[in-house]
Amino acid sequence: SQKIEQNSEALNIQEGKTATLTCNYTNYSPAYLQWYRQDPGRGPVFLLLIRENEKEKRKERLKVTFDTTLKQSLFHITASQPADSATYLCALDRLYNQGGKLIFGQGTELSVKP
Amino acid sequence: SAVISQKPSRDICQRGTSLTIQCQVDSQVTMMFWYRQQPGQSLTLIATANQGSEATYESGFVIDKFPISRPNLTFSTLTVSNMSPEDSSIYLCSATAGTGGLGEQFFGPGTRLTVL
């Protein structure tokens, strides 16, 4: 079955630096991969979607890469701010390109210190 | 985009009872889903709520334990039946408006359930 792994250890960085989060997956070739942000006590909020034929996608200070050979996605936040502190989840389509079902990684907690 | 609300936001229930969680979307959506998020864990898909027909359950989840309704394109309910402490979790409703259900999902704020 599909398996997704994210860094389980919290990532602590200084304000202004670039945060890089990793998402690795096995036993699957997804049609797309998504990144979400989750704050304590709240539901996840969609950030970016990248398709299997896309290498990179950007949105403001966010950048996502997708390497289907390595089966890995990297999520970057440039010029990080304390407000970026949250848990970041990656998710894959559970059934190839069908129906919107997602399988989530366990998330990586990011803490940006001023 | 879609804004999703859930009721109740939290509840404390006794073992053996049932709780129904409501999910309301502010616009018509194609797909609605129910997830469970146990403490410190990621989200696990329970089922897809199908409008006008029976929900589609994922492995490990059954209709008798988690009956789901979706009477229209903006509303769904999840019932947690015959609860035990192992059911203590956050239950999240989500929806997607993309063609065929693809694309970003919008999540409700979750319902925090504690079973004593």
Q: What is the pLDDT of residues B42-63, one digit of tens each?
A: 899 999 998 888 999 999 999 9
Q: With cut-offs at 50, 70 and 90, classify the pLDDT of residue A24.
A: very high
Query: How far is the C-alpha of A34 from the C-alpha of A62, rounded, in Å?
Result: 13
- List the single residue in B41, B105, B108 with the smallest CB-CB distance to A102: B105
B102 with A100: Cβ contact below 8 A: yes
Strand-strand pairing, A108-113 and A11-14: parallel
Closest by CA position to B91, among listed B80, B81, B100, B83:
B80
In the predicted structure, residue B91 carries a pLDDT above the cut 70: yes
- CB-based contacts of A58, cutoff 8 Å, min separation 6: A64
Q: What is the mean pLDDT of residues A11-26?
A: 96
**pLDDT tens digits, A54-101:** 999 999 999 999 999 999 999 999 999 999 999 999 998 876 656 678
- Least confidently predicted of A94-98, A106-110, B5-9, B56-60: A94-98
Q: Mutate which of B9, B105, B111, B112 to disrupt the A interface (most A C-beta within 10 Å)?
A: B105
- Residue that wins the pLDDT comparison between B92 and A29: B92
CA B31 to chain centre: 12
B106: which 2 tokens?
């919008």
Sign of the dihedral through C-alpha A112, B4, B8, B13: negative
Closest by CA position to B80, among listed B70, B90, B71:
B90
If you average pLDDT over every residue of chain B, what do you get?
92
**Going edge to edge, which strands form the sheet with B4-7?**
B4-7, B19-25, B75-80, B68-72
